[in-house]
Chain A
Amino acid sequence: MKSLGLRWRVTITFAILSLSVAAIVSGSTYAVASLYLSSQRTDAAITRASLDARAVAASLRAGAAPGESLAQLPVVDGSQPMLRIGEQWFTSTVAVPPDLLPASLLDEGARTGAQQRVEIAGEPYLIIAMPLDTSLFVEVFPLRTLDATLTFGGWGLVAVTVLAGALGAFLGWYVARRLLVPVDQLGAGALALAEGHLDARLPDAGDPDLDPIAHAFNEMAEAVQARIAREQRFAANVSHELRSPMTAISGVTDLLEERTPDMAPQDAKIVDHLARQVRRLSRMLVDLLEISRMGANEHIETEPVDVRALAAQVVRAQGLSDDIVIGPPAVVSTDGRHLERVFDNIARNAQSHGEGLRAVSVADQGPAVAVHFDDAGPGVDPELAERIFEPFVRGEAADPTSGAGLGMAIVLEHAQAIAAMVSVGTSPLGGARVTVLIPRADPS
């Protein structure tokens, strides 16, 4: 699995950090608050219950009936006093029936006095039981209000914690974004450089920590640009300096060849050999210069191109009938000059090394258009198929004087310029099949 990006890692770290801090603070706050409030309530209840018990005892001693003595007690916060004399219960209200009180609590209360938090019918109560002469005094205090307060406060703290986590995440994301701005710029600059925009430079951020990176990048880009310019000048000079004598030699040779009918047969034969080798050299030179020129900032101009019409044009240029081009017209947006060089070199290759171009089929493949060139040759050895795009690689059967094996290298160079893919396989007709896959949309 691909690991998370720096931006996400920083964001998540910030979020986790602030969430934990907030959780610890909130948790301890809640614990302290609830402990404090509960003990406050318990203390108050015990005090209340003791006072009530003393009042009931005094009232009973004065001869009042048990119900009467209970009724005279003040009701505070819904508290409910009860009295057990023998097996009989007396109570002023019936909010909590005595038979729902836990027996263990009552037993302990009758001996030494006891208190317990109890849930009765889903409601929280604090029950305090204490011996009163021979009878048992019990007072029930509802804890509902306290619990509601604590619950409310607890949720408030949870909300604050979540909010703190979100805030931390946002802060992390923001900080990461700010920190990554120069990294993003560096990436964009490098990409622009790689895409051939040799004048791509990074702006000065005015930050002593970041500017050295920008300067280093700009210096590198400067060096790359200068080097490429130097190489281009060199290639252009080589091209010019080689083309001129080549033109002179082949022109003179052509003139000489025209005179062969008037020559002695032996001389004519020599001139014939000369002419053939000169043509071979000339062809090789042109092909080599074409390969060396490619890639060096080759200008791409896209326009709608009908692939089928272009294939037919190339087939006609080989002196073949364009009846061998089949398939629907397919318009792509590409640089027609590069595509023409791709098709032309494949067709010429099929003509000179594949015993003739047999069929060209155009097929619509959704986002791309496929063009298959099938020849009538013996097919291409699978081992050779992978290397056939390297310069100077030829089939074994190829006539050594027929070409330098640069055709498919030129095909690859031009195909790459327009983001087309070229592969070699076996034709259903038996020969070799060269397939060109041309993207429909702009290569840019």
Chain B
Amino acid sequence: MLPMMKTALVVEDDPTIRLVLKTNLENDGHRVLEAETAEAALVTVQDDMPDIVLVDLRLPGIHGFDLVRSLRASSEVPIIIVTANTDSHDVVAGLEAGADDYVTKPFVTKELMARIRRQLRRPVTETDMPSGSILTCGPLELHQDTCEVRRDGVKIPVSRIEFDVLQALMGAQGRVLSRDYLLRTVWGYSNAGDGRVVDNLIYRLRGKIESDPSRPDLLLTIRGFGYRMKA
């Protein structure tokens, strides 16, 4: 089966890096939109909503954080930060602004492409999921065939990666999943990664599924080990 063509938006002020990202994405069969600034990116997404956004944090004009924040405010589009700034405060700020993953420059092309592919996965179809199977945890239902999450029957909008994390945790039926395990299986990391990527996504997910996100009773933290769903 041919992979479905997707649209990627590359927001990067360095023309060579833009060329590299564009070429690699096109080699993978995707359409690529380019923007040199956050302002241009915001205009582009109004006309043509991409399926994934790659954002450099240090942009002329509006900062990458603000772009991520405003994209996240209106959509669940996967956002990967591609940054030369490895300062841990910047990474955390980017994740908190709503990014799903980050890659530091200089990146290994193969690794970055693997992460992009993981974020762009086609919606789950009957071929790779048992049809109609529903995972439940308390008031929470996860419909594996339609990629829907419901709480007390009300549909909750979740991003692809949020769905995948929730599916992994609910499928584990109360067992603890380590952050490393989630990074490898959900995010597509081949090397050890930064657990804060997981922590941040869990934080966002709790905001959607928990009645009181500051005192979660469905998605529990096992300090130092990982996360698990209430059994």
Contacts and interface: CB of A to CB of B under 8 A. Distances in A.
B: interface residue count bin: 20 to 34
Given A252-B20, A314-B192, A243 B87 contact: no
A248 B17 contact: yes
Interface string A300-312: 0001111001000
Given A254-B109, A286-B106, A303-B223, A240 B85 contact: yes
B16 A246 contact: no
Of the candidates B85, B192, B223, the one having the most CB atoms from chain A within 10 angstroms of its own CB is: B192
B164 interface: no
A: interface residue count bin: 20 to 34
A243 B84 contact: yes
B63 interface: no
A167 interface: no
B17 A304 contact: no
Contacts of B106: 243, 246-247, 250-251, 282, 285-286
B224 A244 contact: no
A346 to B, nearest CB: 13
Contacts of B21: 251
22 contacts: A239-B86, A243-B84, A244-B105, A246-B106, A247-B14, A247-B20, A248-B20, A249-B16, A251-B21, A252-B19, A254-B109, A254-B110, A255-B20, A255-B23, A286-B106, A289-B86, A299-B88, A303-B224, A304-B225, A313-B192, A337-B194, A340-B192
Interface string B21-58: 10110010000000000000000000000000000001
A236 B87 contact: yes
B17 A313 contact: no
A331 interface: yes
Interface of A: 236, 239-240, 243-244, 246-252, 254-255, 258, 282, 285-286, 289, 293, 299, 303-306, 309, 313-314, 317, 331, 336-337, 340, 344
A299 B89 CA distance: 9
Interface in B94-120: 104-107, 109-110
A246 B219 CA distance: 41
Interface of B: 14, 16-17, 19-21, 23-24, 27, 58, 84-89, 104-107, 109-110, 178, 180, 190-192, 194-195, 223-225
Nearest to B112: A251
A306 B224 CA distance: 7
A344 B192 CA distance: 9
Contacts of B223: 303-304
A293 B91 CA distance: 14
Nearest to B190: A317
Contacts of B19: 251-252
B24 A246 contact: no
Contacts of B58: 240
A18 B58 CA distance: 72
A340 B178 CA distance: 14
A429 to B, nearest CB: 25
Contacts of A331: 224
B224 A304 contact: yes
A254 B84 contact: no
B178 A247 contact: no
Given A243-B106, A337-B194, A254 B20 contact: yes
B92 to A, nearest CB: 9
Contacts of A258: 27
Contact of B17 (A236, A251, A289): A251
The 8 closest A-B pairs by CB, nearest first: A304-B224, A251-B20, A248-B16, A243-B84, A247-B105, A247-B106, A254-B109, A243-B105
Nearest to B109: A254
B193 to A, nearest CB: 9
A340 B224 CA distance: 13
Given A240-B85, A293-B86, A331-B224, 12 more contacts: A240-B58, A244-B105, A247-B84, A247-B107, A251-B21, A251-B107, A251-B109, A254-B20, A293-B87, A309-B178, A314-B192, A337-B194
